[in-house]
Amino acid sequence: MRKLNCLFGLCMLLSVPVLAQEDLLKGLDADQKKNKVSGAFKSSRVINGHSIEMLGAGILDFRILHRFGPVKQGIGDLFGLDQASMRMGFDFGLTNDLTIGFGRTTFKKEYDAFIKYRFVQQVQGGTPVSVVGVAGASVFTFKSPDPLKPFTFNDRSGYYAQLIVGRKFNDAFSMQLSPTLVYRNMIDPGDKKSIYALGIGARHKLSKRVAFVVDYSLVANGLPMSVGTNPLSIGVDIETGGHVFQLHFSNSTGMNERSFITETTNSWSKGEFQFGFNLSRVFNLKK
């Protein structure tokens, strides 16, 4: 009996460091999750392009993007407010790291969809950046101007893929780079089907609920220099509880990747930019 008691006591002593190690590992895992960095941007989009931010599991983001006519049209068209194009979209978080989305734009009557996955999330004191991948497709539905040559589905479709690498440097400033490939089946003479671009997004917090944002794409190839220009959007994010309201100026009319990367023709240097706003309303569909 004494031997059994001694053996039991020895097992208890040996189990103490094991239990302590398990508690320590659980604590480290909790700290790792606790130190994950979020809030680099106020929404899943910078202005036009995707940001490194993701929707949580079960979160539905209803987004309305509005873009008016060129400001340079003057008072006759109320500085472009008499004209407008719009995109209405629904993005949904399947998990904390996986989002899908669908939208429709009045410009070219275009439908688009995407899937977005976060490979790596920035961790304070650990992983220095977040890495997100996005793949999407779009189809325009406006009729061909030549009734004898109707557009096929292949003509109407386009695709894109991008990798977003971003970092929240401090509570005030975040920045990201987005190498992007856009492929279009139908092109104008002098264009190329495959377009490469580098997206640059930045956010600087001005107050608790207001931030300055910049969204720029440097198009590397494929667009005639006399026609195509690089899309640049500048604005402010205003957070109001469940809404993120964004006011901005942009030289692009299109509001999906195929459109704003490959079809921007207005130039800021010529005063060819328009006012717009984005409205994001988030709904929690998960108990």
- Between 21 and 54, name the one with better pLDDT: 54
For the ranges 24-38, 46-60, 146-160, the lowest mean pLDDT is seen at 24-38
- Between 223 and 128, name the one with better pLDDT: 128
pLDDT above 70 coverage of the chain, percent: 82
**pLDDT band with cut points at 50, 70 and 90 for residue 23:** very low
Distance CA 183, CA 191 (A): 11
Helix (H) / strand (E) element for 155: namely helix 153-156
**pLDDT band with cut points at 50, 70 and 90 for residue 151:** confident
pLDDT higher than 90, residue 68: no
Give per-residue burial for 11-36: e unless 16+ CB within 10 Å, then b.
eeeeeeeeeeeeeeeeeeeeeeeeee
Total count of residues recorded for the chain:
287
**Residues facing residue 244 across a β-bridge:** 239, 280
**Cβ-Cβ contacts under 8 Å for 208 (sequence gap 6 or more):** none
**Residues facing residue 163 across a β-bridge:** 133
Q: Are 116 and 100 in contact (CB under 8 A)?
A: yes
Q: Name the burial class of residue 105, with classes exposed (0-12), middle (13-18) and buried (19+) by CB atoms within 10 angstroms of its CB.
A: buried
For the ranges 145-149, 228-232, 236-240, 263-267, the lowest mean pLDDT is seen at 145-149
Structure tokens at 111: 């439908």
Q: What is the per-residue pLDDT across 211-257, written as a single tens digit (0 to 9) for each?
A: 999 999 999 876 655 567 899 999 999 988 767 889 999 999 888 89
pLDDT higher than 60, residue 3: no
pLDDT higher than 60, residue 54: yes
**pLDDT band with cut points at 50, 70 and 90 for residue 152:** confident
Structural domain boundaries in the chain: 35-284
Question: So what CATH class is 35-284?
Answer: mainly beta
Nearest alpha-carbon partner for 275 in 69, 45, 46:
69
**pLDDT band with cut points at 50, 70 and 90 for residue 18:** very low
Distance CA 98, CA 116 (A): 6
Q: Are 281 and 62 in contact (CB under 8 A)?
A: yes
Taking the whole predicted model, whether its pTM rises above 0.85 is answered as: no
Q: Given CA atoms 72, 78, 84, 90 in this order, what sign does their dihedral have?
A: positive
pLDDT higher than 50, residue 27: no
Beta-carbon count within 10 A of 68 CB = 21
Distance CA 13, CA 28 (A): 24
User: From the centroid of its chain, how far is CA 27?
Assistant: 33
- Name the DSSP letter for residue 45: B
Q: Are 249 and 168 in contact (CB under 8 A)?
A: no
Q: Name the burial class of residue 116, with classes exposed (0-12), middle (13-18) and buried (19+) by CB atoms within 10 angstroms of its CB.
A: buried
pLDDT mean over 69-94: 79
